[in-house]
Amino acid sequence: MAATKNGKDRKKFEKPKDRRGTILRLGRYMLRDKWLLLLALLLNVLSNLLALVGPMLSGYAVDAIEPGEGKVLFGQVFYYARWMLLFYAISALLSYALRVLMLLISRKVVYRMRKDVFDKLLRLPVGYFDTNQTGDILSRISYDIDTVNVSLSNDLIQMLTTVVTVFGAFGMMVVVSSRLVFVFCITVPLSFAITRFISKKTRLLYRLRSQKLGELNGFAEEMISGQKSLKAYHQEANTVASFDEKNREAVDAYYMAEYWSFAGPMVNFVNNLSLTLISVFGALFYLTGQMSVGSISSFVLYSRKFSGPINEAANIINELQSALAAAERVFRTMDEPAEAADLPQAKALVQAKGEVELSHVSFGYEPEHIILHDFNLRVEPGKTIAIVGPTGAGKTTLINLLMRFYDVNSGEIRVDGESVLALTRDSLRRSYAMVLQDTWLFTGSIYENLAYGREGACREEVEAAAKAAWMHSFISHLPQGYDTILSDEGTNISKGQKQLLTIARAMLLDARMLILDEATSNVDTRTEQQIQKAMLRLMEGKTCFVIAHRLSTIRNADWILVVNHGEVVEQGTHESLMSQEGFYRQLYQAQFE
C-alpha cells in the first residue's frame, strides 16, 4: 500500500545541515527554565572561583618554608591549610548542588522534547509511517533523546566548568607571573587547532553512527516481530547474514567515530609540553630572584587548572558532537510536515446520514504510479457496499481515501453532500467505525480495550457489544473477566479472539458508517457465520463498506463493486454478477471450485 516501504530509498549518508540552528533550538528548550539555568550558572561560577583560591593559598603555605634554613612556620601553614579545606569543601557542596540542578533541568528538557516528538508523530500523516521504519522512529524517541539527556546533564556542566576555570585560572596566572603566561601563546592555539580539526571529522561520523544504529534497530524490530514467518520459511541463516551486515555497519560507524576521538590525548600532550616549559622558565625566574618557590608552585597548579579543563573539553567535544547529531535527527522529525490542517471554514460532521459519493477520483501514493483512475461511486445511506478484487486492485486505498488518511489527487469525495475537504478530519473519522485485518490492542484490561473509542461507555454497553461479537462467554470465563489485562498487544489471547475484540470495539461506537477490511480473516468458519449474523443485525441502518477476499461473506451486500487495476470493472448484486460471465464469477469460481 505504501509508496515505499521501510525507507529503502533512504540515502546511505546525509551530512549535518544546521549545527548552529540545532544549538539554538536546544537553547530555547533550556531557556524555558531560565531561572533554574541562571541559578546553575551562579553555582558554577561560585564553585569554581572558590576552587581557584586553593592554589594561591597553597603557594602562601609553601612560602612559609624557608629554603636552606629548614625553618617552617607551621602556624602559617596550618592557617592557609584550614582556609584551603574550607574553600574546597564549600566548592564541593556547590558542585553537588549544581549537578542535582542540571539533572533537574535536563529532565525537564528531555520530557518536553520527547513529548513534542510524540505529539508531532500523532499529527503526521499516515504516509510518514508507511515510508519510515518503526525501529528508526523509536530510536529517535529513545536513543537519540537519551543521548541529548546525557549531554545536557553531564557534558554541559563540564563545558561550563571549563569556561569559568580556564578564564579564572588565566587571570590568577597573570597575577602570579604575567611573563610565564606567554608559554600558553604557543600551546593554547595548538590545542584549539587540533580540537577543531578532529571535531570536523567526528561531527559527520557521529551523525552516521546515529543513522546506522537507527537502521539496525529498525531491522531488528522487523525480524523479531516476524519470527514465525522467518522460521516457517527457513530464513534464519539469511536473516543472520543480513543482521551481521547491518551490525557490522553500525559497529564500523561506532568504531570510526571513536577512532577519531583522539583529541583528548593530543591536547594532553600539548598540556604536558606547556608544563615542561613552565618548569624550565620558572626555574630560571627563581634563580634570578624574580619568583618565589610558592609562586612557581601556585603557577604550576593554576596551569594544570587551566590546561586540564581544555583537555576535558577536547574529550567531551565528541560527546557533544554525538548529542548534536542526535538532536538534529529529533528536530528533523519535528520538522516533518504535519497532516494538512482543516480548512478555516471547515465544519464538523454531526449525526451523519451516511450518504457517500466519490466523483471522478484519481489517486496514487506516488505521482507516477496512479492506483485509482477516474473512480466513481455513490452509496445511499444504510446500504452495504462490498469491494472485492485481486491484491493491489485498490480496495484498501479506497478506505484510506474515505478516512482521509490520504487526500485524492483529483476528483472529489462527498459525505452527506459535503466535500470531505469542507469537513473537519476529526468529525469525519468519528463518523466511521473501523475494523482492520491487522488487529491492534494495547496493554490494558479487556474492558479498556473495548471502550477505547467511546468515552464514558458503561459496563452494560461494553458487555452488549461483546455479546454481539460472541466474546462475552469467553471473557466471562477468564480469571478476571473484563478486568483481565492484555499484555504486549494481546499476545496472551489468540488471533481470532483479538479480531473479535476489535469487532466488538467497533460495534460499541455510535457511528453511522462502518468500514470492515477483512474483519473476519482470523476466525474460523463457524465463528465467522456467527459474527455475520450479529453483524447484519448491528449494521442495520448504517452505511457499510466491506472489503473481503472470502466472497462467501458478502453475498448479502446491497451492492458489490468489483475492482481491478484501480477501476470498477463490474458492479451489482451477488446474483446479478454470478449470472454474468465476468470477472466476479471467475473470482468466485476460483475460490469454491
Cell numbers describing residue 291:
619568583
What is d(CA 160, CA 309) in angstroms, rounded to the nearest whole number? 10
Upper half-sphere CA count for residue 544 (Cβ side, 13 Å): 27
Q: Are strands 567-572 and 559-564 parallel, antiparallel or unpaired?
A: antiparallel
Q: CA geometry: angle at 245 spanning 239 and 247, to 5°?
A: 95
Please give the pLDDT value at position 65: 67
Please give the pLDDT value at position 30: 84
Please give the pLDDT value at position 68: 54
Q: What are the average pLDDT values for consecutive 10-residue runs of the chain, which has 593 residues?
A: 36 51 84 87 86 78 64 74 87 89 87 89 84 80 84 78 80 77 74 72 74 80 73 75 86 76 66 73 73 75 73 69 83 86 87 88 83 84 86 77 89 91 89 79 84 81 83 85 76 74 81 79 66 68 82 78 80 86 82 65
Tell me, yes or no, if the pTM score tops 0.75: no
**Widest CA span of the chain, in angstroms?**
124
Beta bridge pairs of residue 372: 363
**3-state class of 377 per DSSP?**
strand
What is d(CA 555, CA 559) in angstroms, rounded to the nearest whole number? 9
What is d(CA 459, CA 454) in angstroms, rounded to the nearest whole number? 12
- Nearest to 313, CA basis, from 349, 357, 268: 268
CB 435 within 8 A of CB 506: yes
Please give the pLDDT value at position 488: 61
Beta bridge pairs of residue 72: 65
Please, which residues have CB within 8 angstroms of residue 233's CB and are 6 or more apart in sequence? none
CB 172 within 8 A of CB 55: yes
Task: Give the single-character DSSP code of 351.
Answer: S
Upper half-sphere CA count for residue 301 (Cβ side, 13 Å): 19
Sign of CA pseudo-dihedral 577, 582, 583, 585: positive
CB 524 within 8 A of CB 496: yes
CB 416 within 8 A of CB 371: no
What is d(CA 565, CA 581) in angstroms, rounded to the nearest whole number? 19
Can you list the alpha helix ranges (DSSP code H) found in 124-176? 126-130, 134-139, 145-150, 156-176
Cell numbers describing residue 5:
516501504
CB 190 within 8 A of CB 197: no
- Nearest to 30, CA basis, from 112, 127, 93, 96: 112
CB 132 within 8 A of CB 109: no
